[in-house]
Copies of this chain bind each other. A is one copy, B any other.
Amino acid sequence: MVQLSQPRLDAAFAALSDATRRGVLEQLGRADASITDLADKFHMTLTGMKKHVSVLEQAGLVTTEKVGRVRTCRMGLRRLEEEAVWIERYRQLWDARFDALDQIVEELKRKESVHGRRKSQSA
């Protein structure tokens, strides 16, 4: 059973709530990249990209290493395990809830149809 940490989930979902940051993660899934590479690729200033990388780093989704003047970014050790588990549990709740509603609707339809038949028989 995966233990879910609320602060880790907060940080990871917040990090994922931006299309550029999701793009950076996908990019690093293909190859490591410097902040400069990433800024170029996403048409951003260095300062803007540094902020995005910092959010990803704080969430454990990216690690960075500075060698000389170049800071290289890599995928972090967190592979969104807890986030996948949370979402999967929610989807199970959702399915169960909507299945239950479907059953109620079916039950109402059945009663309606019995009631309708009785009315037409008595008419």
Contact = CB atoms under 8 A, between A and B. Distances in A.
Chain A facing B: main interface SS: helix
Contact of A13 (B6, B13, B89): B13
Contacts of A80: 87, 90-91, 94
Contacts of A28: 97
A30 B87 CA distance: 15
Contact of A17 (B17, B79, B88, B95): B17
Contacts of A33: none
Contact of A87 (B6, B87, B98): B87
B22 A9 contact: yes
Interface in A19-60: 19, 22, 25-26, 28-30
Contact of A93 (B26, B88, B94): B26
26 contacts: A9-B16, A9-B19, A9-B22, A10-B17, A10-B18, A11-B17, A13-B13, A13-B14, A13-B17, A14-B17, A17-B17, A26-B93, A29-B93, A29-B96, A30-B93, A79-B90, A79-B94, A79-B95, A80-B87, A80-B90, A80-B91, A80-B94, A84-B87, A84-B88, A84-B91, A87-B87
